[in-house]
A and B are shown apart, each in its own frame.
Chain A
Amino acid sequence: MSGKEPEDGLLISPIQDGTVIDHITGGEALVVLRILGITGTTKEAISVATNVGSRISGKKDIVKISNRELSKEEVDRIALIAPNATINIIRDFRVFEKMKVEIPESVTGFVCCPNPGCITNSNEPVESGFKTKKGGRLQCIYCDTIISDNIVDYII
């Protein structure tokens, strides 16, 4: 990158190849990693900055993932908890592509249904599934239960 990273430049150094997720709601960076299935045992080199000052939103988080380009689908998952996030795909220290997240039409497998009577909360070999509704709410495709806020609490 051309050194234009005034907000976090001191906290995280630029990466050569990979993905930078910027403007994550302050404090939600670790949830973003969880959504992406990134744990301490996966092989990517990760840098995380939380509660960085931001001119736009006050506090924001930033995640940099080396040597991994997120797919559009992965990017859109992030919209559920960080609707203002921007995604920069980096190749050779340059921003190769810049994307806004979009709330996906459906989400599968990483949000758990809050209804204990739902078949997805039993020992059946089934992934949870939700349709998204207005305002980023999720509706279980099995039992119709709606998650209207605190989606973070239901992320597996």
Chain B
Amino acid sequence: MHHIISIKELEVEDINRLLDKARLIQEKGFKRRTLEGKLVALLFFEPSTRTRMSFSAALSRLGGDVITVDSVEGSSISKGETLADTIRVVSSYVDAIVLRHPKEGAARLAANFSTVPVINAGDGAGQHPSQTLLDLYTIRENMPLDNIDVGLLGDLRYGRTSHSLSYALSNYNVRIHTIAPKSLEMPAVIIEEMAERGVELIQHDSLADVINELDVLYVTRIQRERFPDSASYARVAHSYRITPEVLKDVKDNLILMHPLPRAGEIDPAVDKLPYAKYFRQAENGVPVRMAMLEEVML
């Protein structure tokens, strides 16, 4: 039995196999009944409608069934039951568990107590491997993961999607450019680990300095509450906003990504430009999650 807990612990062969499988699923259409008769618990102890719907859709497409817990209220957790006990019990009902939890490391703990595979659907500020796999899938759909320049823009300090994407990309021949305001730079430990993994990582504070070299620009949200006052937020938000003007001289094959939801980092006028891939990226969540569900249950 295997779990999918963190992108860091997937070997490059595992990642490639999952991405290949997702592509096959997408090409052949979604009429697969490979998980007919399988039952999966979606345990969402933290609201995330999009991720939950996407896993639910993925499982339905595979012919499986879902049972859901989507709030802490009304569940035995509010009566003081530990996650460990919940997992022990629920894993006796189902063939796999998809877990979303506010505490970091919750999925790893769940894997320790579960008798069925656990897929991490996001734990606190920690790991969210299905997001990272669909990000990687979207890049690979547009270009080979070889000799490319990937820009990560926005809140790189707290933004877990950019952290896990960096780990995922470290398996390939890419250069990573981080572009973030001073207070929201990539944590030192990740920069150090990228170096250990032999990844060339270049830090920038201005997007204009690097945008024309990029093959991928991955934009993340900058949260207002990270700034002491609205004026300093406005300054930062403005200088990192993607508009058609900003994209004037970029490479033809640039792809623009965003884990969504966006809050104004990308001007809607950009949506119709060929660079915009963020809605396609969201769409890719279903085949990638189908591949993950098949991976752990077949």
Residues of A within 8 A of B (CB): 115, 117-120, 122-126, 140-146
Contacts and interface: CB of A to CB of B under 8 A. Distances in A.
Given A144-B126, A146-B189, A124 B83 contact: yes
A98 to B, nearest CB: 34
**A-B pairs, 3 with minimum CB distance:** A142-B105, A143-B104, A119-B105
Contacts of B103: 117-119, 122
Q: Among A120, A141, A143, A145, find the residue whose CB has the most chain B CB atoms closer than 10 A.
A: A143
Nearest to A120: B105
A91 B189 CA distance: 45
A120 B82 CA distance: 12
Interface in B44-75: none
Contacts of A142: 104-105, 108-109
A91 to B, nearest CB: 40
A77 B101 CA distance: 32
A80 to B, nearest CB: 19
Contacts of B112: 126
B109 A117 contact: no
Contacts, number: 47
A125 B104 contact: no
Interface residues of B, number: 17
A123 B189 CA distance: 28
B84 A124 contact: yes
A144 B105 CA distance: 8
Contacts of A140: 105
Nearest to A137: B189
Q: Among B82, B105, B124, find the residue whose CB has the most chain A CB atoms closer than 10 A.
A: B105
Contacts of B104: 115, 117-119, 142-145
Given A117-B124, A144-B189, 9 more contacts: A115-B104, A117-B103, A117-B125, A118-B104, A119-B104, A119-B123, A120-B105, A125-B82, A142-B105
A122 B77 CA distance: 13
Contacts of B102: 117
Contacts of B123: 119
Contact of A126 (B109, B124, B125): B109
Nearest to A115: B104
B125 A119 contact: no
17 contacts: A117-B124, A118-B105, A119-B105, A119-B109, A120-B105, A122-B83, A124-B83, A125-B82, A126-B109, A140-B105, A141-B108, A142-B104, A142-B109, A143-B105, A143-B124, A145-B104, A146-B189
